[in-house]
Amino acid sequence: DAGITQSPRHKVTETGTPVTLRCHQTENHRYMYWYRQDPGHGLRLIHYSYGVKDTDKGEVSDGYSVSRSKTEDFLLTLESATSSQTSVYFCAISGDRGSSYNEQFFGPGTRLTVL
Amino acid sequence: AQKITQTQPGMFVQEKEAVTLDCTYDTSDPSYGLFWYKQPSSGEMIFLIYQGSYDQQNATEGRYSLNFQKARKSANLVISASQLGDSAMYFCAMREATGGGADGLTFGKGTHLIIQP
């Protein structure tokens, strides 16, 4: 199994509070991604990173920011959480060549509830 | 328009039968990749199989094969000899190469497969 961990695995917070989710990989892969999963929508891309300090927006980036200061860590921050950000958040990684590029592996997910 | 369409919200299949899960996609990019994932009730996303747009042969991984029909923009997943443990949500996804490869995947809404004994 690909070495991807997410923390926390579960979090309940209140509207208006900041929240940071962490993704950590041990595969030394170049690309990292944050997705959210909601009923009826499948998974949707929030932000992605193509290297240290290199990030870009995905389909549903409003209200989220990311940072990647090390190859192994990719942080997702909700500056001021809203109830619409209640979701399951998945981190994913892939390499930049060969078979590691053709396989995008996912972390175990973080279930976030915003009250 | 949706980029990935999975037309079967749910399917019931008898154990040991073969299963075909439908996926059609929409892209104007000549270089793209197609992925299938399994999500059991425990919630993790399990990578199953990958097909590149330039691959000449259909991808296979154990009991999984991808029926890739490029002209029809179809990438159906075939599971041979289904097992009770195959019961799960299945997602089709696509990566387009326009962003230099770093872009994430676009997912379909999934098919809920239930294998009956």
The answer to whether the CB of A6 falls within 8 A of the CB of A23 is yes
- Kindly list the residues from chain B whose CB atom is less than 8 angstroms away from the CB atom of residue A41: 109
Q: Are A96 and B37 an interchain contact pair (Cβ–Cβ within 8 Å)?
A: no
Q: Please list the pLDDT of chain A residue by residue as tens digits (115 residues).
A: 569 999 999 999 999 999 999 999 999 999 999 999 998 778 999 999 999 999 999 989 999 999 999 999 999 999 999 999 999 999 999 887 776 677 889 999 999 999 9
Q: Are A42 and B43 an interchain contact pair (Cβ–Cβ within 8 Å)?
A: no
- Kindly list the residues from chain A whose CB atom is less than 8 angstroms away from the CB atom of residue B93: 43
Predicted local confidence at residue A55, as pLDDT: 94
Predicted local confidence at residue A100, as pLDDT: 66
Å between B82 CA and nearest CA of chain A: 23
Q: Are A88 and B43 an interchain contact pair (Cβ–Cβ within 8 Å)?
A: yes
**pLDDT tens string B46-91:** 999 999 999 999 999 999 999 999 999 999 999 999 999 999 999 9
If residue A100 lies in a helix (H) or strand (E), which one and from where to where? helix A98-101
Task: Say if A57 is an interface residue toward chain B (CB within 8 Å).
Answer: no
Predicted local confidence at residue A1, as pLDDT: 59
Q: Are A43 and B105 an interchain contact pair (Cβ–Cβ within 8 Å)?
A: yes
Task: Say if A61 is an interface residue toward chain B (CB within 8 Å).
Answer: no
**pLDDT tens string B2-34:** 799 999 999 999 999 999 999 999 999 888 999
Helix (H, G, I), strand (E, B) or coil at A44: strand
Å between B117 CA and nearest CA of chain A: 28
Tell me the CA distances in angstroms from A8 to A66, A80, A106, B47, one per residue in order.
Answer: 16, 18, 15, 23
Task: Say if A109 is an interface residue toward chain B (CB within 8 Å).
Answer: yes
Predicted local confidence at residue B100, as pLDDT: 55
If residue B69 lies in a helix (H) or strand (E), which one and from where to where? strand B64-69
Helix (H, G, I), strand (E, B) or coil at A59: coil
Residue B99 has pLDDT above 60, yes or no: no
**Closest-CA residue of chain A to B5:** A42
Closest CB to A102: pick one of B33, B100, B106: B33
Helix (H, G, I), strand (E, B) or coil at A75: strand
Question: Strand B111-116 relative to strand B10-14: parallel, antiparallel, unpaired?
Answer: parallel
- Across chain B, mean pLDDT equals 93
pLDDT band for B102, please (50, 70, 90 cuts).
low
Task: Say if B105 is an interface residue toward chain A (CB within 8 Å).
Answer: yes
